[in-house]
Amino acid sequence: MVRQLDDSPKTTIVYPDSDGKPMADNTRQFRWITTIKANLDWLFANDADVFVAGDLLWYPVEGDNKTRQAPDVMVAFGRPKGERGSYQQWKENNIPPQVVFEILSPGNTQTEMTRKLLFYDRYGVEEYYIYPTFRTLSVTTSQKRKGRESKYLSRGVSWRQAASN
């Protein structure tokens, strides 16, 4: 039996560290992003297994560098702190960020925010917080999207408290 050797060159997939977009569109949005990120860093400073990042590209699917999102702030419980060029989920024990924060700017559209919600829902985000810097806070949890109460919020316990149990 003759077997052909596969001598075709292997393509290396590059996962860029930048999407070329600015972190914020204005000073108010920038201040909110950095304030939330800094406070989460402080809150989880003594927990080595909580990774907090701001404006970091998240690739949920290995082999696909087009499926990506850069949440304004994200929290991944069960992942160690440390530097990363991007959050490649398959290198993170396949753990998605469980909590995501988006800070709105006047240029955000409903279509864009719906697209982000669908992305986060599809790839495992449990809680999605939208901070409109000029309106009321919106909280969406995967439980709420499925017609159930949040396992954290329904008992008056925040996701932060539930994660520490």
Token pair 């108010």: residue: 28
**List of residues 6+ apart from 93 with CB closer than 8 A:** 78, 79
Residue 128 belongs to domain with CATH number: 3.90.1570.10
Q: Do the domain assignments include residue 4?
A: no
47-66 per-position pLDDT tens digit:
999 999 999 999 999 999 99
Q: What is the DSSP letter of 112?
A: H
Residue of 141 and 64 predicted with greater confidence = 64
143-165 per-position pLDDT tens digit:
555 655 554 444 445 555 555 55
d(CA 56, CA 138): 22
Closest by Cα among 56, 65, 43, 148 to 101: 56
Instruction: State how many domains the chain has.
Output: 1
**pTM given for the model:** 0.79
Q: Do the domain assignments include residue 12?
A: no
Q: Do the domain assignments include residue 132?
A: yes
Domain that holds residue 78: 27-163
Q: What is the DSSP letter of 159?
A: H
